Structure 1
Amino acid sequence: MPDTTSDPLTFRCPSCGGLNRVPAARLDQAPRCGRCQTALDLSAHPQEVNDDALERLVRASPVPVLVDFWAPWCGPCKAVAPHLTALAKERAGSLLIVKVNTDQHQRIAGAMQVQAIPTLMLYKGGALAKRQAGALMGPQLRAFVDA
């Protein structure tokens, strides 16, 4: 088990999308983005991203990135959302969870060959580690990320 008191955690800036590594011991000091100086969102809620931001994030992130391809009208997508939020809070700084609305970002959904929603894709070290079409919740979602 890593020593979380010294391991830096990674947070995505809600303003410029930059990745920021913050030592766990400094989380109570209201850290700001190193690029644009915006206060970092430490709540770790899954953030919406567009095509360009997703590609940059996956390529540059020092921690795994879980991407949720979803649509607002999708019932299973709505059912998965609170589980993703809970996982994001549990793994804040050691796992980034982002969401891509397939209705708004059809180009990236097509390029990633998303044929069903929800589709989850886990990236590690800039490469696709695994993907899952269909809803995963609770323990299944954690097992998907951890395996």
Structure 2
Amino acid sequence: MSTFDFRYDRWCGWILALFGSGRRFSRVVVGPAEIGVRLGIAFRGTIDRSAIRTARDWDGRVFGWGAHGWGGRWLVNGSSSGIVVLDIDPTGRARVLGFPVKLRELALSLEDPDGFCAALGLTRRTATADG
């Protein structure tokens, strides 16, 4: 089992900690059969490793920090950098503030995105490699 820390911008780490989603209660755990993701009280999910199709770099803008999304696309972050996007099929499930949501795409800001992808046995695609 491997544990990976979320990446936090300095100011964002303090703000998210005030809302129960700071470093102390947040992590991503890669196990042999599944991945556990927890951002404090904001987000909690478990994904079957066999459902992860690809890992790629985030190529969009980031307008918020925490856990947010819609329609199966979720960004769970404490920073605008180090973001890895997982494409999930079949759709996974998670909870955001206790409410159930579906996951078909999950973006995570991580301190060690390359190590995370290596633990999954995936090569992270970059925006330039996608064309």
- Greater Rg by CA: 1
Shorter chain as denominator, the TM-score bin is: under 0.3
TM-score (norm 2): 0.28
Answer 1 or 2: which has greater helix percent: 1
